[in-house]
Every structure is written in C-alpha cells, then in structure tokens.
Amino acid sequence: MKVVVTGAAGQLGQDVLLELERNNHQAIGADRQTLDISDEAAVQAFIQAVNPDVILHCAAYTNVDAAEEDEDTAYKVNGLGAKYLAQAAKQAGAKMMYISTDYVFDGTASEPYEVYHPTKPLGTYGRTKLAGEVFVQEILKEFFIVRTAWVFGIHGNNFVKTMIRLGKERDEVGVVHDQVGSPTYTVDLAKFMVELMETEKYGIYHATNNGVCSWYEFAVEIFKQAEMVVSVHPLTTEQFPRPAARPKYSVLSKKKIEEQGLTPLPNWQNALSAYLKEFRG
C-alpha cells in the first residue's frame, strides 16, 4: 500500500516509516518542511498529488506546557490539521489513522479507561487533540483513532533519555510518584499501527505497552536496567509544579485490541529493555 506518514521526522513517525518499509509498503514521509498540516490548501494539494491508500497521522503539537501559552497554534496543528487530513483522505478514498492521547481524559478514574469512556481533557493539549478526534469522526465514516501514552523512542526527546542524562550528571533525582500510566515504546506502537491499518477493523483503540507504573517506578526500572547507581526520590505532583495539569491516572484499557484479534503490545519492562539495547547501538 502507498502510505503517507505525517510527523515523519518525529519520535513516532520515524519508527512508523521503518515498520512500513519492513512490511513492504510504499512509505511517503511528510514533515514540517514538506507539509504544513494547518494549511488546508497545502494538505489538499499534497494528498491529491500522492494519492495514498492510507494516511497515518502522527504529526502533533506535543509540547504540553507550551500549549497552555499558545492555544491558537496547538489548535491549528492538533485540531484543524486532523480536519484537513480527514477531508483529504475522504476525497482520495484513503484510510486514515489519527494518533491521539491519554490527555483526552481527566485522570480521575481508578480503573483503566475504555475506548468509550467519556472524555474530559484538563488542558489545552488534551482539548486540541480531542478536537482532532471529533473532526475525524465527523468527516469519515470509517477511521482509526489510536490513543497512546508515555511514549519513548530512539528518535526524540523523552523520559528515558532524560533520566539517563540526569543519571550521568548526578547521583540522585526526584521523580513524581502519584501519576500512574503505561509507558509506550514507539517501535511496538508502530508495529501495532501497521498491523491495524492493514485491516478493516475501524474504530477507536487504546495502545500502550502492557503493565502499569508511576513515573517514579519507571525511573527506578530505567536505572536498574541501565545499570546506573542513582537514588530516586518520590515527589508529589504538587512538589513538581508544571504549567499544564497532568492526568493523575493515565492507564488505558487495551481490551479492544484483544477483542479484535490484534497483537497486544509487550509489557513495558521488556519494551524498555529493547529500547536500551537500541539506544546503546
């Protein structure tokens, strides 16, 4: 299949391109230099020229804290970008997959969020990503929406890289212990995305690596697997204030993946181990 990948220079986009090539698909990457997804005419022209079978929409305004200061840009990219791509997909008769986020929920749950649970974003990033979801569902009869969380990969900045850098600079770090979720390795997420796009099993999915941890527990496991001696101190969210509110509970139920007979993502500890092997090269 001929597949357009937006956000092709990003952390997830680069692994998606590699996975498509591994599966003998024709991958066309679109990054910010190639395509401004907030420009409706540019999106129409690009998709018309390429005429893809599938659009995997990984591009996003992901700086959660900066989004609080610049809602306009976040909305143009996350909301309108998804709208314009959905319109172009409809015209081209292409399948579309939109990558969304745990931030569409408010994090007050005590059990994993199902795909049908009511959304209630806490801040700008979640609101603008949810706007993108709504546009995709309004414009397309058949679509894939994949919500994910706590993403880490070899190509971008992420929590794992930050911890390893801090661990080299100091022998102790403080990490929030009262925010819980599931880390997601971009390689595993990319495999799931490509498997899903090859099907007609449309709808909303939650895709993260299996298992649950706090950021504190994640940090402890990173240092353990990286064989670094670093003391990790648990902090509360209040002790580590940020401009944007974070959901306290970000665990997404992967029940839909099993129900549809798709391949579940491995547990997060194994994913971290695979990532660290790749990271060390």
Catalytic residues: 125
Dist. CA 62–CA 141, nearest whole Å: 27
Q: How many CB atoms lie within 10 A of CB 120?
A: 14
Dist. CA 281–CA 23, nearest whole Å: 23
CB 249 within 8 A of CB 108: yes
Measured at the CA of 91, the angle between CA 87 and CA 96, to 5 degrees, comes to 60
Separation of first and last alpha carbons in the chain: 31
Phi then psi dihedrals of residue 214, to 5 deg: -90, 165
Name residue, tokens 């995997």: 56
Q: Which residues pair with 181 in a beta bridge?
A: 213
**Helix and strand totals (H; E) in the chain:** 11, 12
